[in-house]
Amino acid sequence: MGYTLLAGTKAPVRVWTDPYGIEPEAAQQLRNIGQLPWVEGVAVMPDVHFGKGATVGSVIAMRQAVSPAAVGVDIGCGMSAVRTSLTAGDLPDSLAALRGAIEDAIPVGFAQRDREVDPRRVRGLEQGGWDAFWRRFGTLHDGVSKLESRAHLQMGTLGGGNHFVEVCVEQGGSGQQSSDAGRVWLMLHSGSRNIGKELAERHIAIARRLPHNTDLPDRDLAVFLTGTPEMEAYRRDLWWAQEYARRNRAVMMALLCDVVRRILPQVSYDEPISCHHNYVAEESYGGVDVLVTRKGAIRAGAGDLGIIPGSMGTGSYIVRGRGNADAYCSASHGAGRRMSRSKAKKMFSTEDLEAQTAGVECRKDAGVVDEIPGAYKDIGQVMEQQEDLVEVVAHLKQVVCVKG
């Protein structure tokens, strides 16, 4: 559909949805971001909605600056997926045992492990760099040293909220090879767990106190500037937390593959796909070097494979980026919420949840009503609005969904 420019900003704020459909609080957040002196431009994805610190579904390109609150507290949160050799017909008639085995293998919610995962004992998990990665913990912000044991025990755990593990079946459709319809995929969504949150909160507090942030339209948008010790310290911790999130998903995916292998030993796996959607990257556009913060957005460079989930009852998409520089080579990170968690709990019941997740082996209790599909935007419409950002490789529909 192309983009529309949001009025009332210094830097261009390009919007890949109806700008009049953006909630007023989110629109004001976007205008505040567009007023910052360091901002080169902003791309607004069709899953846009109001968020803490900055708008979810926004891509912020800054010159020699980054806002830790815009990145958020779940540094490196993202998706992983892998296509299996299985088809829907290979799955057992009842998927309850499969769901139970996944929940036994991967702690969810606030749970952590009794013992840390030994990468050498996990089949299919990358073996390189673990010792060097953990040694770098000692270089992180002084205040998190006491959290190292917890960080070890949370490696390979899901967390709560909108994080999930799914077993999905590929759907047939226009533009997709019919031979792939019915293929089983494994998918999961998680981030940097408590250690990412702790690092983020410490740096956000530091940024708020810096004198150059005194007169900002929103103190949540306080930035660090290149060449300062505060920026160097944040970047060090940021890169580490992003790696923690990537390795966390890799551990869970390897464990998930092993669960399926034990139940269906004939399975084999393609190369996994993995992408962050809350992170910072160093990129260049039009000859200008920028720090790109994707807050609820994935990189969609030309040929890049990405994952765009819907909700626990509507399915997801595997996509290939088109490399649209106007959007800083980005696309949405999901369907995006259309209402808050508190509003969803008031509006929907467990009976509604059962109806909207019919055919999916998942929790259907009051603890996950706030994740009901009705609380999210229409993923089909979201995909239509970004046809110039990505092409669809596969449309998946979940048959098992494990929530935190």
List residues forming the annotated binding site. 74, 162-166, 189, 277-278, 309-312, 316, 333-336, 403
pLDDT of 28 over the 90 cut: yes
C-alpha to C-alpha distance for 262 and 160, rounded to whole angstroms: 26
Residue 177 pLDDT level (bands cut at 50, 70, 90): very low
Residues making up the annotated binding site for GMP are 162-166, 277-278, 309-312, 316, 333-336, 403
Express each pLDDT in 270-293 by its tens digit: 999 999 999 999 999 999 999 999
Q: Which single residue is written with the structure tokens 């909108």?
A: 162
Instruction: Name the residue type at position 326.
Output: D
Q: Categorize the per-residue pLDDT at 173 as very low, low, confident or very high, splitting at 50, 70 and 90.
A: low
For residue 53, the model assigns a pLDDT of 84
Domains and their CATH numbers in the chain: 70-272+300-320+376-403 (3.90.1860.10)
Active site residues: 333
Interval 84-112 mean pLDDT: 97
pLDDT over 70 for what percent of the chain?
A: 98
Looking at residue 172, what is its pLDDT? 85
Contact of 241 with 192, CB cutoff 8 Å: yes
Q: pLDDT tens, 319-352? A: 999 999 999 999 999 999 999 999 999 999 999 9
Pairing of strands 390-403, 361-362: parallel
Instruction: Return the pLDDT at 225.
Output: 98
pLDDT mean across residues, the chain: 96
Q: Residue 110: is its pLDDT beyond 70?
A: yes
pTM greater than 0.85 (yes/no)? yes
Q: What is the mean pLDDT of residues 99-107?
A: 98
Q: What is the mean pLDDT of residues 162-186?
A: 84
* The token pair that represents 33 in the structure block: 């971001």
**Taking 90 as the threshold, does the pLDDT of residue 174 lie above it?**
no
Which residue, among 185, 177, 219, has the nearest Cα to 68 in the 3D structure?
A: 219
Half-sphere exposure of 212 (CA within 13 A, CB side): 14
